[in-house]
């Protein structure tokens, strides 16, 4: 049986058993196992890998290893996936968030990024949306990211929505592509401006007097205005404009 040496770099070490972190280690490579299978068996989802090298040369996930090979695995950074496919421009990205990331989904929508979310989605449904709609899966479930149907995804390390948003903006370089206040926070549909006169019958008493700018969603019929909740969320999103991507 062939034996290869693995070395994981950067934040990928967080997925490994503690005894394997930040060092090279040997692993048996049984049968016809691909690099993808071996990397994921060690706990690292393929979506988190930006570059693979075998014996110092770029390699793809379907590479089969020979005895004595050295595998270096690097985290996702640039617009290139480890399978060699070019990443689409961030402005064209669409996301699907799992049931535990509702707060992040709302902030992404506020920033103008198409984000599908329902806290009743099963893993199968999320994987289906990723495969059929080309959505980037956002989750804290590494097993979901290992599914073959999930071509692109992000394991979200942070626990609080604002920190999660910053993590994604840093990793994916989203700041230049923000288009705030164009999507419904509830259902992800496009918003359109609504005059104060038309909003008067659809908002609580007094709101029409205090606010002049309104937006409406034709899908869920919700009307939005720049109240205190909106302003708090806007503060979080505006802070993302200065976030620089990972080098």
| Rg value, the chain, Cα | 21
Q: What is the pLDDT of residues 125-181, one digit of tens each?
A: 999 999 999 999 999 999 999 999 999 999 999 999 999 999 999 998 898 898 888
* Best CA proximity match to 61, nearest among 25, 85, 31, 89: 85
17-41 pLDDT, tens digit per residue, is 999 999 999 999 887 889 999 999 9
Q: Which pLDDT does position 102 carry in this prediction?
A: 96
Average pLDDT value for the chain? 90
Tokens coding 188: 């992800």
Say if CB 73 and CB 10 are below 8 A apart.
Answer: no
What CATH superfamily is the domain 2-75? Beta-grasp domain (3.10.20.30)
- Taking the C-alpha atoms of residue 105 and residue 82, their distance in angstroms, rounded to an integer, is 26
What is the residue extent of each domain of the chain?
A: 2-75, 90-179+236-242, 191-227
Tell me what pLDDT residue 85 has. Answer: 52
Bridge partners for 155 per DSSP = 139
Neighbour-count burial of 80, counting CB atoms closer than 10 A to its CB (0-12 exposed, 13-18 middle, 19+ buried): middle
For the record, the structure tokens of 70 come out as 């050295």
Higher pLDDT, 153 or 88: 153
Q: Which helix (H) or strand (E) holds 137?
A: strand 136-139
- What pLDDT, on the 0 to 100 scale, is given for residue 78? 46
d(CA 19, CA 81): 27
Q: How far apart are CA 47 and CA 146, in angstroms?
A: 7
Q: CA-CA distance, 54 to 59, in Å (whole number)?
A: 6
Main-chain phi, psi angles of 61, to 5 degrees? -65, -25
Task: Retrieve residue 173's tokens.
Answer: 């370089």
Position 206 pLDDT exceeds 60: yes
| CA neighbor of 100 nearest in space, from 138, 134, 56 | 138
Distances (CA, A) of 185 to 3, 9, 227: 51, 37, 14
Q: What is the pTM of this model?
A: 0.88
Secondary structure (3-state) at 51 = strand
Q: Which pair of tokens denotes residue 211? A: 């606010």
Contacts 24+ apart (CB under 8 A), 226-231: none
Give CA–CA dist 229/111, Å, rounded. 15
């Amino acid at each position: 049986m062939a034996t290869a040496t693995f070395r994981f770099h950067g934040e990928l070490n967080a997925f490994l058993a503690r005894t394997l972190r930040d060092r090279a280690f040997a692993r048996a490579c049984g049968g016809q196992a691909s690099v993808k299978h071996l990397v994921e068996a060690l706990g690292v989802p393929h979506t988190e890998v930006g570059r693979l090298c075998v014996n110092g040369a770029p390699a793809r996930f379907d590479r089969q290893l020979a005895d004595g090979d050295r595998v270096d695995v690097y985290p996702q950074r640039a617009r290139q996936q480890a399978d060699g496919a070019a990443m689409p421009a961030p402005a064209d990205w669409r996301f699907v968030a799992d049931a535990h990331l509702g707060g992040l989904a709302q902030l992404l929508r506020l920033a103008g990024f198409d984000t599908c979310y329902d806290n009743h989605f099963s893993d199968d449904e999320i994987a289906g949306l990723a495969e059929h709609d080309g959505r980037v899966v956002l989750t804290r479930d590494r097993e979901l990211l290992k599914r073959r149907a999930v071509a692109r995804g992000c394991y979200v390390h942070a626990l609080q929505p604002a920190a999660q948003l910053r993590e994604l903006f840093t990793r994916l370089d989203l700041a230049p592509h923000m288009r705030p206040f164009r999507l419904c926070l509830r259902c992800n549909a496009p918003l359109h401006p609504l005059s104060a006169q038309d909003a008067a019958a659809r908002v609580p008493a007094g709101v029409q007097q205090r606010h002049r700018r309104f937006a409406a969603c034709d899908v869920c019929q919700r009307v939005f205005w720049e109240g205190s909740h909106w302003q708090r969320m806007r503060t979080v999103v505006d802070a993302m404009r200065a976030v620089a991507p990972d080098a």
